[in-house]
A and B are shown apart, each in its own frame.
Chain A
Amino acid sequence: MGLLTDLKSSISRAASVLFAENEPKRIGIYGPPNAGKTTLANRIARDWTEHGDAVGPESHVPHETRRARRKENVEIERNGSTVTIDIVDTPGVTTKVDYTEFLEHDMEKEDAVRRSREATEGVAEAMHWLREDVDGVIYVLDSANDPFTQVNTMLIGIIESQDLPVLILANKIDLEDSSVQRIRNAFPQHETTPVSALEGDNMDEVYDKIAEYFG
Chain B
Amino acid sequence: MAEVKEPRDGVQIDLISGQRMEGLTSMEKIRMILDGVREGNIVILEEGLSPDEESRLIEVTMTEISPDEFTGLEIETYPRSETADASFLDRLMGKQQTQKLTVIGPANQIETLHKDENLIQTLVSRR
- Quick check: is A156 within 8 A (CB to CB) of the other chain? yes
A120 touching B88 in the complex, CB below 8 Å, given contacts A96-B71, A153-B77, A186-B79? no
- Quick check: is B67 within 8 A (CB to CB) of the other chain? yes
Question: A95's contact among B61, B67, B83, B115, by CB below 8 Å, is which?
Answer: B61
- Quick check: is B116 within 8 A (CB to CB) of the other chain? yes
Across the interface, do A97 and B72 meet the contact criterion of CB distance under 8 Å?
yes
Across the interface, do B62 and A161 meet the contact criterion of CB distance under 8 Å?
no
Across the interface, do B52 and A158 meet the contact criterion of CB distance under 8 Å?
yes
- Quick check: is A14 within 8 A (CB to CB) of the other chain? no
List A contacts of B56 (CB < 8 A): 127
| Range class of the A interface residue count | 20 to 34
- Quick check: is B45 within 8 A (CB to CB) of the other chain? no
List B contacts of A108 (CB < 8 A): none
Binary flags per residue of B73-94, CB closer than 8 Å to A gives 1, else 0: 1111101011110001001000
- Quick check: is A50 within 8 A (CB to CB) of the other chain? no
List A contacts of B71 (CB < 8 A): 96-98
Across the interface, do A157 and B81 meet the contact criterion of CB distance under 8 Å?
yes
Across the interface, do A95 and B77 meet the contact criterion of CB distance under 8 Å?
no
| Range class of the B interface residue count | 20 to 34
List A contacts of B83 (CB < 8 A): 157, 160-161
Within 8 A of A (CB), among B21-65: 50-52, 54-56, 58-59, 61-63, 65
- Quick check: is A15 within 8 A (CB to CB) of the other chain? no
Q: Which residue of A lies closest to B117 (CB)?
A: A148
List A contacts of B58 (CB < 8 A): 93, 95, 123-124, 127, 154
- Quick check: is B12 within 8 A (CB to CB) of the other chain? no
Across the interface, do A158 and B74 meet the contact criterion of CB distance under 8 Å?
no
Binary flags per residue of A175-215, CB closer than 8 Å to B gives 1, else 0: 00000000000110100000000000000000000000000
Across the interface, do A156 and B65 meet the contact criterion of CB distance under 8 Å?
no
Of listed B55, B58, B62, B67, residue having the most chain A CB within 10 A? B62
Q: Which residue of B lies closest to A93 (CB)?
A: B58
Q: Which residue of B lies closest to A157 (CB)?
A: B51
Q: List 11 A-B contacts (CB under 8 A).
A: A96-B71, A96-B73, A116-B67, A120-B63, A123-B58, A123-B59, A148-B116, A150-B74, A150-B76, A160-B84, A163-B91
Given contacts A95-B61, A98-B107, A120-B62, 6 further A-B contacts (CB under 8 A): A96-B73, A99-B67, A120-B65, A123-B62, A127-B62, A161-B50
Binding site for A on B (CB under 8 A): 50-52, 54-56, 58-59, 61-63, 65, 67, 71-77, 79, 81-84, 88, 91, 96, 107-108, 112, 115-116
